[in-house]
Amino acid sequence: MNLIEDLRWRGLLAQSTDEAALLEALKKPTTLYVGFDPTAPSLHAGNLVVLLVLRRFQLAGHNPIALVGGATGLVGDPSGKSDERTLNSTEIVQAWVSRIRTQVSAFLDFDAPKNPAQVVNNLDWTSPLSAIEFLRDIGKHFSVNHMLSKDAVSARLEGGGISYTEFSYQVLQAYDFLELFRRNNCTLQIGGSDQWGNIVAGLDLIRRVEQGSGHALTVPLLMKADGTKFGKTAGGSVWLDPEMTSPYAFFQFWLNSDDKDVINFLKVFSFKSHDEIMELEKSHSENPGLRNAHRALARELTSLVHSEETTQRVEAAARALFGQGELSELDEATLASALAELPRTSISATQEIPTWVDLLVATGVVDSKSAARRIVKEGGAYLNNQKISGEDFRPSKTDFLCGKYAVLRKGKRDLAAVELS
């Protein structure tokens, strides 16, 4: 199976220009690029879809370029929303470019002997241009009528309108493709399906200015089975930065994938072979309660984004929280990230520590002391995985793990955290 067929099998092929010509071109090492604009301090799980496609191309022997948009990030791609994007300061965008440059670099091989990856910043070739040069040399090749037909632009025109700044984004992205064609012989751009118009505009610019040709390939925007946008949780986006989404929360996001989504997610994100994925699909179909597919997905993605060692710590924390390991063996950072996802309460180190019953009520796991006392009587009350036998049990400061945390458990599954501050 060739690379394009593999992408189609994984559900990663939305549109392409002449597919036969693209297949012919890919018989030789091809230079391609994907752009990432610094719209936040970190990439999120949704960005992984196209970033990992770039990685697949490198593994197939092609030359990947990850472009971080220091210039386009200052302008903003017009979204389908009615409002203009908030323009961030140059200093903020530069800081985000640096962070995202580091992130994308973790997924590509810069030391490959034949096809090393590159990371570039489009500010390098955009900032030296004067406004007059840009309008005369680049802008003259664009039809306003054609630009107005772009979905995101037409939707804005039907609402509150669009600024010239955002309207010009398509020209800037097309110019990126032209410059990479000139500098790196880059002949393929990949992006999300919402970027099709921008990518094709770049191909047209290459044809007009350099009488050259290239290819475009887009990846479908990933949606969950329930129709909601992928990569969002009740707490917001799932970020790749461990300071914005902890490795524990990242692991749990994949582990808690809907049964209807997990096999699709494996196809999109995993580097397992087709046979391995189909075996997991068979196991999932026969006994979804084992959650083999979910665990395989969570382990692979957490190891890829954070590290295999981090994944092992996260899994150890998950087991320990439910009494299958020693909480005292967890390092403070892993413990803190695991407990951050739980209902919690905080008490001062200078006050008398409340009883287990009072603490459980304070976390909101139960709504009354009588309910908490009943849990103790029925033998379902635990502190740090140790059963509590008395309704008046009061933890001591030595019970707090790492001197800061205590874990309350009601029965087998309901957890809460207490932080000593």
Residue 315, both tokens: 């899994």
Q: What is the mean pLDDT of residues 124-151?
A: 90
**pLDDT reported for residue 154:** 78
Residue 376's φ and ψ, nearest 5 degrees, are: -65, -45
Is pLDDT of 344 > 80?
A: yes
Q: Give the pLDDT band (50/70/90) at residue 7.
A: very high
Asked whether the beta carbons of 75 and 171 are under 8 A apart, the reply is no
User: Given a cut of 90, is residue 226 above it in pLDDT?
Assistant: no
pLDDT tens-place string over residues 327-339: 888 889 889 888 9
pLDDT of residue 357: 94
pLDDT at 267 over 90: yes
3-class SS of residue 276: helix
The structural domains of the chain, ordered by start, are: 3-219 (3.40.50.620), 223-338 (1.10.240.10), 342-421 (3.10.290.10)
Q: State both tokens at 90.
A: 């140059």
Cα atoms in the Cβ-side hemisphere of radius 13 Å centred on 217: 25
pLDDT of residue 1: 74
Residues 6+ positions from 121 with CB-CB distance below 8 Å: 67, 68, 69, 70, 71, 97, 101
Write down the mean pLDDT value for the chain.
92
- Tell me what percent of the residues of the chain surpass a pLDDT of 90: 75
Cβ–Cβ < 8 Å for 88, 72? no
pLDDT of residue 252: 92
Instruction: Please tell me the predicted confidence (pLDDT) of residue 151.
Output: 74
Instruction: Give the integer Cα–Cα distance in Å for 187 and 175.
Output: 13
User: What pLDDT band is residue 350 in, cutting at 50, 70 and 90?
Assistant: confident
Q: Specify the higher pLDDT residue, 56 or 152.
A: 56
Position 265 scores a pLDDT of 97
Pairing of β 344-347 and β 236-237 = unpaired
- pLDDT tier, 170 (very low <50, low <70, confident <90, very high otherwise): very high
- pLDDT at residue 171 in the model: 94
pLDDT value for 292:
96
Rounded Cα distance between 203 and 134, Å, is 18
Q: Are 218 and 193 in contact (CB under 8 A)?
A: yes
pLDDT digits (tens, 9 = 90+) for 375-396: 999 999 999 999 988 889 999 9
Phi-psi region of 411 (alpha: psi -120 to 50; beta: other; left: phi over 0): left
Q: Which residues contact 271 (CB under 8 A, 6 or more apart)?
A: 52, 56, 59, 300
pLDDT digits (tens, 9 = 90+) for 62-117: 999 999 999 999 998 886 666 777 889 999 999 999 999 999 999 999 999 999 99
Percent of the chain with pLDDT over 70: 98
Q: Provide the pLDDT confidence category of residue 129 given band limits of 50, 70 and 90.
A: very high
For residue 245, report the phi and psi dihedrals to the nearest 5 degrees.
-135, 115
Range with the poorest average pLDDT among 20-34, 55-69, 200-214, 337-351? 337-351
Q: Is the pLDDT of residue 271 over 90?
A: yes
Q: How many residues does the chain have?
A: 421
**pLDDT at residue 82, as a whole number:** 61
What is the mean predicted confidence (pLDDT) over 276-296? Answer: 95
pLDDT of residue 235: 67
Does pLDDT of 155 surpass 80? no
